[in-house]
Amino acid sequence: VGKAFAVQRRHQERGPLVNSEYYTGWLDHWAEPHSVVSTSVFVSQLDKMLNMNASVNMYVFHGGTSFGYKSGSNVDEQFHPIVTSYDFDAPISEAGDPTDKFYAIRKTIAKYLPLPRGPVPKPKRKMSLGPFKFKRLFGLSELREMLSGDTKMSEHPLTFEEIRQSQALVLYDTFLSFLPRDPGRLSVPGLRDRGYVYVNDRYQGVISRMDNVFDIMVSISKGQRLSLLVESQGRNAYGNLNDAKGIVSNVTFSGILLTHWNVTPIDERKVLPGKFATIPQETHCPPGFAAYEARFPLKVSPPLDTFLRLDHWKKGAAFLNGFNLGRYWTPMGPQKTLYVPSVLFETENVLNVIELEQ
């Protein structure tokens, strides 16, 4: 602290000492450890700044949640998508609850300034619901049929921006017009950001910008449909503003250019909750895209905040009564729960899950 303010004084002999962005914690990226800033270290440095009569802006003081697909990403040599939660290890959690860090900050400030009158806030009660029994609504082929009216045809793949897609998914379909090697190498160097590969609607695997995997070996015959369900995993938080999503360059199979694409933006609001008839139930759900639904009455009055756990799911997004709670990616972590505010609950509720992998 002393060294940092000494730099300020070299350039500004007079005026207030200001720390305009004192980090209480930090954000989380998928597949990386949960970020934590030590409470004791934080308040120790805060105490030093206040003792110097410095002004301090703590960022973030109240954690939050990037509902829907609004969480961003950071890009250096690698692509680092940010989790749904913006809890940030902040003094007040994403659910609005004071933490141990909050009480420690309050105690430190009390050494220099009078505290507000009134009771000290306490964590709010939460409610426990479930487990829920889900039914499968539809898979990729049914989704394509339901949204066929939105499909655009193009010689080459179109980006999310070119079809004005603000949601997270776009389906790219083409039919192989030549006799390929078996298996052949599908190459999508312009993938932004994650692609789920299908042949005749049978799931083949994943390519991923985050993992620097842009190629996959695929067995396919002439005339079969090759599909790429592409997921945008978050806009770049800073840097280059030219941040197109989807497929931003040519796609090849065994070195041969693939053309004549059908490009379909996926808008879950058009198909959820339960706006179309369900497909027959299966005892085993094949891997890949599928939409699921659970219906339940709310027996808690008034409703309370809670958190949704998706321990046995892999990757996707969850919706309560049509509201997008955000993305989950359970095996990757570090986020394991999605914050569910009480205001989203109704007397009768519909919980939908869009699962992308399994």
What 3-state class would DSSP assign to 60? coil
Lowest mean pLDDT segment, chosen from 61-75, 117-131, 133-147, 262-276: 262-276
Take residue 333 and report the two structure tokens written for it.
């972590």
How much is the mean pLDDT over the chain?
A: 95
Minimum mean pLDDT range among 18-27, 31-40, 274-283, 330-339: 274-283
Spatial separation of the C-alpha atoms in residues 126 and 146, rounded to whole Å: 38
pTM value surpassing 0.85: yes
Find the mean pLDDT for residues 285-290: 91
CATH topology classification for 270-355: Jelly Rolls (2.60.120)
Residue 82: partners with Cβ closer than 8 Å, 6 or more residues away: 27, 28, 29, 30, 66, 71, 72, 73, 74, 234, 237
Kindly indicate the confidence band of residue 273, based on its pLDDT and cuts at 50, 70 and 90. Answer: confident
Question: Strand, helix or coil at 29?
Answer: strand
Architecture of the domain made up of 148-266: Sandwich (2.60)
Q: Which residues make up the CATH 2.60.120.260 domain(s) of the chain? A: 148-266, 270-355
